[in-house]
Amino acid sequence: METPGGIMKVILHNSMSLDGSFIGIAANMELHYQAVNSFGAQVYMVGSNTTSRESIEQYGETVPPETASDFQKPVRDPALSYWVIPDTKGTLQGILHYHRRFEYCRDVILLISDATPAGYIEYLEQRNYGYIKTGSVHVNYREAFKQLAQRYGVDTILVDTGSRLGNVLLNEGLVDEISLVVTPEILAKNNRHLFEGVEHHIRLRSKKCETMPDGYIWIVFEIIGH
């Protein structure tokens, strides 16, 4: 997409089974993030459900109490990616420091809207989190991406999320490439599929097909039309 700084590339990435399921799959996270890191994106974007307290606890982790250092921006290698999280409802209040402390995160930036609670915005400002406010109720992603380019010098965004956010971006025509690590399995028919919410035909061109260890395959498609 065109931005004030030039051309921005948005890459949608995920792991899925051969039949498109993304929940309950035998995901190989080492291979998943090997693919993520290969793109060298300045922004790693993930949904608020993926970063919620419930998701953290599912992996056996707990959110530690805040300390004084959590109110300051971290000073990290500028080569690291910003973590950008849409959170218009303020569901991550009280736990953002858990993500900010991650050593491979340059810092966390929130995408919010006019409907975001004032208390959540105050929470972000007190802790020096960057945020971009667009849209009346939901995030206006096209405008948010333009502001990421203008304010942070971003030219590549990698979106690593489930179906909801990814499908919204596809439906709004904001995705340039789709990157998938395909797991060697077919799941039950009642499983949720990665592209279940796509509303229109999307034409693709193959860009990469790479065999990975243990039967996994990494494929990348370029979107060429709708």
**What is the predicted pLDDT for the residue at 4?**
55
Contact call for residues 131 and 124 (beta carbons, < 8 A): yes
Q: How far apart are CA 101 and CA 132, in angstroms?
A: 21
CA distance 49 to 87: 9
What would the 3-class secondary structure string for 70-104 be? HHCCCCCCCCCEEEEEECCCCCCCCCHHHHHCCCC
Which stretches of the chain score pLDDT less than 70? Answer: 1-6
With the C-alpha atoms ordered 51, 56, 61, 67, is the resulting torsion angle positive or negative? Answer: positive
Give residue 188's pLDDT. 77
Measured in degrees and rounded to the nearest 5, phi and psi for residue 201 equal -70, 135
Q: pTM value?
A: 0.93
pLDDT digits (tens, 9 = 90+) for 20-48: 999 999 999 999 999 999 999 999 999 98
Number of CB atoms found within 10 A of residue 120's CB: 20
The pLDDT value given to residue 2: 62
CA atoms within 13 A on the CB side of 216: 21
Q: If you write DSSP's letter for every residue of 140-189 in order, what string do you get?
A: -HHHHHHHHHHHH---EEEEE--HHHHHHHHHTT---EEEEEEES----T
| Whole-number Å distance between alpha carbons of 223 and 211 | 22
Tell me the two tokens of residue 87: 């959170």
Q: What pLDDT, on a 0 to 100 scale, did the predictor assign at position 120?
A: 98
Buried b (16+ CB within 10 A) or exposed e, 180-192: bbbbeeebeeebe
Instruction: Name the β-bridge partners of 87.
Output: none
Closest CA relative to residue 175, chosen from 156, 152, 196, 150: 156
Question: Domains of the chain, with CATH numbers?
Answer: 1-42+158-226 (3.40.430.10), 55-154 (3.40.430.10)
